[in-house]
Amino acid sequence: MPLSSGGPYFGFMTCRQMHVRQMPGRIVGRTTDLDGNPGFTLTLQAREQHIRRTKATSNICTNQGLMVTAATIYMSLLGLDGIAAVARSSHANTTRLVEGLSSVKGVKRLYEGPYFHEVALKLDRPVAPLLAALAERDILGGFDLTSFAGTDALLVCATETKSAADIDAYVSALADVIA
């Protein structure tokens, strides 16, 4: 599901059974628009809590219900073998991406260890200008992790929706931008 400005999304949260009743009923996400103005959205809510009880139409929020319905249809159409194939394809694409990007001078994995479809990369220069240069080439280059990682770092992802040509184009573009 696309995040669509912070929602709707599945809103997965986990906890031990003994803590279920203490989980928040809603979580508000904060972002900024293109002009730098703050914006807020209900990214997770268990019930239509912001609507008076007499006006509420269901116990599940419409957007979350829509996401669950879409995911159920998708998984039903794929079946067990299809879901496994999607997972294998996502991992294979990410492996190809990581191998390609790791061959670019100034790029290496931030952490060693297993991964599925996302990998944090350490760069030898600031990430924001690289992402801007990639965006000029119509490439969404990833997420700048610098403020979280304490070093110049980039989170990249490749799912089953990417082709070998897409991955190779990204690797080539990043190599050009870094050069």
Residue at 149: amino acid letter? A
> Cβ–Cβ contacts within 10 Å for residue 162, how many?
19
In order of 1, 45, 118, 144, 157, the CA distances from 97 in angstroms are 22, 35, 10, 17, 8
- pLDDT 10s digit of each residue in the chain, 179 long? 665 555 566 656 677 888 877 777 677 778 888 898 998 877 666 555 555 656 655 555 556 677 778 889 999 999 999 999 999 999 999 999 999 999 999 999 999 999 999 999 999 999 999 999 999 999 999 999 999 999 999 999 999 999 999 999 999 999 999 98
In the chain the domains, ranked by start, together with CATH numbers, are 1-60 (no CATH), 80-178 (3.90.1150.10)
> Is the model's pTM score more than 0.75?
no
Nearest in space to 97 (alpha carbons), one of 71, 122, 124, 119: 119
